[in-house]
A = this chain, B = another copy of it.
Amino acid sequence: MLHAVIPAGGSGTRLWPLSRAGNPKFLHPLTGTAQTLLQATVSRLEHICPLSDIMVVTGVAHAAAVARQLPDLPERNIVVEPSPRDSCAAIGLAAALIARQDPQAIMGSFPGDHLVRDTSRLVEVLEQAAAGAKQGLLMTVGITPTHPETGYGYLECGEGLDWPVRRVDQFKEKPSHAVATQYLESGRYLWNAGMFVWRVDVFLAELQRQQPSLHDGLMRIVAAWDTDRDTVMGEIWPTLTKISIDYAVMEGAAAAGLVATVPGDFGWTDVGDFHAVAEALPADEFGNVLVGDDKSDVVLHDVTGSIIVPQSGRLVAALGVSEIIVVDTPDAVLVCRRDRAQDVKHLVDELKNRGDHRV
């Protein structure tokens, strides 16, 4: 049905101290099973394409971990960026590599660190998206919002195309609570899940139109891919514009009427913070969620609504607390009120300012 690309980057600041620059979110088992988020993403995608058509684009620091977490993924499908150049370069490189083999191939790009509960519903939505892509649209997957979430970007939808496809008029940044409430009430907004489906020729034409130098650089890299990849990557990659795919291509394409979306509801979460992690996992009778399978090392007395993340092999004991997050790692422990989970990024900012190496 399509070629699947997983840009596996980012560190997941709000999941500190579990997630670090050196040990990012997609490498962690936050799925309620022993699978990491990356492994679970690949497992889902295997419902729509063979493993040979799944490509992971990741950084030098994580290439080895990705290779080991996905032992059956062909080596040529693990593309390593020499340095982080944001999502447009990563996704653009994947598109150009796929286009070498099949210029009109349909490609989907899927974050490697999100959770989806209902894979069969996801497959249906992607089939609908692929149909739109075949017609020359840059397709996104929009999540039907269930509450006025301020942690996600939104897609502003216009008139309907062939059901259930809808035109996307604008990409909207994370809103305030008041604005998010308006979005929800209007019925015209979907959450932007960061999933894209398009024909690679259509995407590359838009990339060339809006980001000609980035497009040119990627073409030169791909031309040398089988002959002199290391040298040419080493020269050109660091010069590529560092820009997200939304800013670089999608917003301009939406303004040109080229972007559409399929609304979906398949139990999606971006697992952005520990509260979101826990919402996606089963809780015990007291509303407590244990993340990871090392449960013998946790003892809870009169604890309710809390999230315990034991990841150090040490004993984690809690007594008389409610709505608390405890994350225990080998070199740092976090204790946080559950409704402040989003603010963990501020803690990490402070640690970065201090020059602390544990971020």
Given contacts A320-B340, A326-B333, A335-B335, contact A350 B315 (CB under 8 A): no
Task: Decide if B320 touches A337 in the complex (CB within 8 Å).
Answer: yes
Given contacts A299-B351, A302-B340, A340-B302, contact A334 B346 (CB under 8 A): no
Q: Which of the residues B315, B324, B358 comes within 8 Å of A356, measured between beta carbons? A: B315
23 pairs across A/B with beta carbons < 8 Å?
A299-B350, A301-B343, A301-B350, A302-B340, A314-B332, A315-B331, A315-B358, A316-B333, A317-B333, A317-B335, A317-B336, A317-B351, A318-B334, A318-B335, A319-B334, A319-B343, A319-B347, A320-B336, A320-B340, A320-B343, A324-B335, A326-B333, A326-B335
Q: How many residues of A contact B (CB 8 A)?
A: 34
Give the shortest distance, in Å, between A2 (CB) and chain B (any CB).
41
Residue-wise, chain A 223-258 has the 8 Å CB interface mask toward B (1 for contact) of 000000000000000000000000000000000000
Give the shortest distance, in Å, between A251 (CB) and chain B (any CB).
34
Give the shortest distance, in Å, between A15 (CB) and chain B (any CB).
13
Measured between beta carbons, the chain B residues less than 8 angstroms from A17 are: 315, 317
Task: Decide if B332 touches A301 in the complex (CB within 8 Å).
Answer: no
Task: Decide if A333 touches B314 in the complex (CB within 8 Å).
Answer: yes
17 extra A-B contacts, CB within 8 A, seeds A315-B356, A317-B332: A17-B315, A299-B351, A314-B330, A314-B331, A316-B332, A316-B335, A317-B334, A317-B347, A318-B335, A318-B336, A319-B335, A320-B339, A320-B340, A321-B336, A324-B324, A326-B333, A335-B335
Of all chain B residues, the one with the shortest Cβ separation from A344 is B319
A328 at the A/B interface (Cβ < 8 Å)? yes
Task: Decide if A333 touches B328 in the complex (CB within 8 Å).
Answer: yes
Complex Cα gap A340–B322 (Å): 13
Measured between beta carbons, the chain B residues less than 8 angstroms from A356 are: 315
Give the shortest distance, in Å, between A334 (CB) and chain B (any CB).
5
Given contacts A299-B350, A343-B301, contact A332 B315 (CB under 8 A): yes
8 Å CB contacts to B: which residues of A8-60?
Answer: 17
Measured between beta carbons, the chain B residues less than 8 angstroms from A340 are: 302, 319-320
Task: Decide if A335 touches B321 in the complex (CB within 8 Å).
Answer: yes
Complex Cα gap A356–B332 (Å): 23
Give the shortest distance, in Å, between A224 (CB) and chain B (any CB).
44
Measured between beta carbons, the chain B residues less than 8 angstroms from A319 are: 334-337, 340, 343-344, 346-347
Given contacts A321-B324, A324-B321, contact A315 B343 (CB under 8 A): no
8 Å CB contacts to B: which residues of A274-313?
Answer: 299, 301-302
Task: Decide if B333 touches A333 in the complex (CB within 8 Å).
Answer: yes
